[in-house]
Amino acid sequence: MYLALKTLHTLFAFLTLSGFLLRGYWLLRNSPLLRHKIARIAPHVIDTLFLASGIALIVAINLSVMQSPWLLAKLVGLVVYIGLGMVAMRFGRTLQARMLAFVGAVATFAYIVGVAFSKSPASWLSYLA
């Protein structure tokens, strides 16, 4: 069960990031594809499945968020990623602000992946020690 949940969670992480990068490209190009119905709905479905699979993993391995600093770091990172993503895709007033938020969101996603691999809030930096 654990391996299936972890595989699904990893798949949804890949789909989430891939979709976000594609929508960022469309944003930069001012593509009408960004306003297509599927491009507006699919990210919410994928992100919901991504979050649900993460919660299922937490429950399956009986982790306590408050007693696992790395897991708390992932959740804080997720909130930051969502906020920056909202600015990048919807609320940024200028293209420059949207692109800055986009880069910040991608960097935050990379931080979250590093935390997942290292099981440390130091993310990728923990491999340097």
Give tens-digit pLDDT for 51-107: 999 999 999 999 888 899 999 999 999 999 999 999 999 999 999 999 999 999 999
pLDDT confidence of residue 65: 85
Domain ranges for the chain: 1-62, 65-129
Q: Provide the 3-class DSSP secondary structure of residue 48.
A: helix
pLDDT confidence of residue 79: 95
Contact 72, 58 (CB under 8 A): no
Distance CA 85, CA 8 (A): 22
pLDDT confidence of residue 12: 97
**Average pLDDT of the residues of the chain:** 95
Which two three-digit tokens encode residue 94?
A: 């200028």
Length of the chain: 129
Nearest-CA neighbor of 119 among 72, 64, 51, 66?
72
> pTM for the whole thing?
0.92
pLDDT confidence of residue 42: 97
